[in-house]
Structure 1
Amino acid sequence: MKSEPKSEQELLERAYDIAGLTFQELADEAGLRVPMDLKRDKGWVGQLLEWHLGASAGSKPQQDFAQLGIELKSIPIGHNGRPLETTFVCVAPLTGIHGLDWALSHVRNKLSKVLWIPVEGEREIPLAERRVGMPLLWTPSPEQEAVLRQDWEELMEMIAFGQFDKITARHGEALHLRPKAANSRALTEAYNANGKPIKTLPRGFYLRTQFTEQILAEQYALPLSNDNDD
């Protein structure tokens, strides 16, 4: 893996250097094997980009480039330049959340500054032939952060009151909550509406495609779609 970048400028230069290259070209340089597909290797693209950009955080609950205060997010896009799937932000805390506020939340920390790396995501393109797009360094506008905060506070309030059965994918304008587990046996501790300990599936915060599409559209001057199908 390359050394951690010393500055924001160095990180951006590395990101621009890999723009236009295929996954095969990047994998060859990193000494990695390109899988046939991502069904069993969902984190492979992220690991490939981390190697080339010098990210060191791995799965820790901090930014990928902690010294620079920047999070790395790859985003698969279609032929029309629009995101193909929601973007995982971080695991949601289900216990020990008393007194937790937006300013100190993992979600705000992860999204305070993001290096977006668009990648070709259409399934008919063989994984080895997919290319990396032009990078985008993004900081939420006050309006965007206000929407994220409102969604986070609404969802965390429902978690605090044990209303897991009432949380659906429809909650949240930009941010939503959904189960994140390899299988249905991967349970974690939480509390129900009566305050009693229960076992439930881990939950993760995800950015809706409408929200990430807005980010890309503002940067790349793309027309926004009217779809709301996350």
Structure 2
Amino acid sequence: MPTKRTPLIGMSLKMYFTPARTQRYLSAFVPIARSANAIGITTFLIPDFLSVAASCAALVTTEEQRYATGVGAQDCFWEDSGAYTGEISPAHLWELGVGYVEIGHAERRRIFRESGDDVAKKAAAAAKRGLIPVVCIGEIEPDESQIDFAVQYCVQQIDEAVRCVPLDSQVVFAYEPVWAIGQHNPAPTEYINAVCAGLRLHLDSLGREKSARIIYGGSAGPGLFTELDIDAVDGMFIGRFGHEPTNFEIMVQEIATKKFG
């Protein structure tokens, strides 16, 4: 598992791709991920559950690649096994080669009524199995004048999510202002930098300066990362823009232009 903060770019396919389309996508995505890793950038791809095994077979051919060119799951349960019809075991994900698990996305909180306690239990279960939780956080209403409110809102989500995750366990926080998800434009760069700087200070105060990374999502697109503060933002979490593999490659190159310590 990574022992230092490295730049990171990930993508969730949500429920947009069929398994057949995902398989075709992998043929173009895999060399991009390998090239990114060769220059020190970590990548991960989160397909639909039906495509997890095929994605692992393509991207995770060695144990070192579990996190370097990793595959993620869009959710998991908080128990390894049992009578939980329809749920996904973190232990089973680990066995397949999965390295990341997306937890607490705004859509799951809103549509499926997932609570902060649910997110906390899932994050702890994922970390216990060696999976890296990708915990989605973000304020709901847009108000660019209320940066302190946004920071405190997200800090509450952070504290709740990692209350049972050991300090030395890797965790990724995907800062996605709910009001920016699915919109034409992301949040303003000054706003993203200010909020993420506040979150970085909080994580460092908890002793997670090396084990916790912050990536920005929410209508993320080309050119955005070039304007972000790398002391606060470690990478990107992209959506439909990355459905074209060459677009994902563009953003990899934008991250590569920054000088990470």
With normalisation by structure 1, the TM-score equals 0.30
Instruction: Decide which structure has greater helix share.
Output: 2
With normalisation by structure 2, the TM-score equals 0.27
Structure of greater Rg: 1
